[in-house]
Structure 1
Amino acid sequence: MDTDKLIKNFNRCIDWEDKYLYIISLGEKYALLPAEKQTEQYAIVGCQSSVWIDVKLIEGKVSLLGNSDAALVKGLVAIVCMLLNDKTPSELLNTNIKTIFAQLGLQQQLTPARNQGLEAMVRTIFNKVEHFI
């Protein structure tokens, strides 16, 4: 799913309860990191819930798979992966993900701990992708 479609679908939700349910459904559908990779090697430090993201470079494009042990956070992982997946390292590093989060209204609706976890996910991905350049 591309960014525009994600934003359009998100804006179709009536209220934040619907948006939370949509986020959770995204996690169920797109947070696909297999259980055998849910290890310390892929763990994201700084998240209150357990979060794992595998960052790879495949044929010049970044490939992201993630998961979490918490339903809402799993959905946030899915959103981050959808927004950043299948880009070249340069494209990914030039993505202003905070602007997209603002368009979705995430930072205003999430708890401070979840916002910190979201920032930790993005920071970790960006740090790993910088090594691909």
Structure 2
Amino acid sequence: MDQKQLIKNFNRCIDWEDKYLYIISLGEKFARLPEALQTKQTAIYGCQSQVWIQVQVEQGKVQLLGSSDAALVKGLVAVVCLLLQDKTPKQLLETDIKGIFSELGLQQQLTPARNQGIEAMVKSIFKQVQALEMA
């Protein structure tokens, strides 16, 4: 699923309850980082819940796998990963996640702590992608 499809599906949701259920379903479907990879190296600090995201570059495209111990956060991990993966590192680093979350209404709907968690996820992904680019 790409960014356009995600936004299209999200906008089809009738109300916020429907949107939250959609986010949770995305987490069940796409946030599949195996437990063996849920380590200190993949942990994202700054989130209320436990979050892990693995970043790799394969054939010039960023691949992301993530998970969380909380259903809604797992869905938000999936949203972030879906918005950023399968891009070149340059494209990923130019992606305005805050703008997309604002367009979806998520930035306004989520608590400040959840928004800080998303910011921590994105910063960590960007930092890891930059490090992989320099390696």
- Fold agreement, TM-score > 0.5: yes
Q: Superposed, which structure 2 residues align to 1:1-16 within 5 Å?
A: 1-16=1-16
Distance 1:90 1:132 in 2: 12
> C-alpha displacement at 1:80, in angstroms?
0.5
Query: Match of 1:44?
Result: 44
**TM-score after normalising by structure 1:** 0.97
Query: Match of 1:21?
Result: 21
> C-alpha displacement at 1:46, in angstroms?
0.2
Task: Give 3-state SS (helix, strand or coil) of 2:87's partner.
Answer: coil
Deviation string, structure 1 residues 7-46 (Cα, Å, up to 9, x no partner): 1111111100000000000000000100111111110010
Deviation string, structure 1 residues 70-114 (Cα, Å, up to 9, x no partner): 000000000000000011110100111111111111111111111
Distance 1:128 1:39 in 2: 15
How many corresponding residue pairs? 133
Task: Give 3-state SS (helix, strand or coil) of 1:25's partner.
Answer: helix
Partner amino acid, structure 1, of 2:92: L
Tell me whether 1:107 sits opposite 2:107 in the alignment: yes
User: What is the identity percentage for the equivalent residue pairs of Structure 1 and Structure 2?
Assistant: 71
Query: Match of 2:30?
Result: 30
> C-alpha displacement at 1:132, in angstroms?
2.5
Q: Could you list the runs of 5+ residues in structure 2 that have no partner in the other structure?
A: none
Query: Match of 1:96?
Result: 96
Partner amino acid, structure 1, of 2:62: V
Tell me whether 1:124 sits opposite 2:115 in the alignment: no
Distance 1:50 1:80 in 2: 15
Q: Could you list the runs of 5+ residues in structure 1 that have no partner in the other structure?
A: none
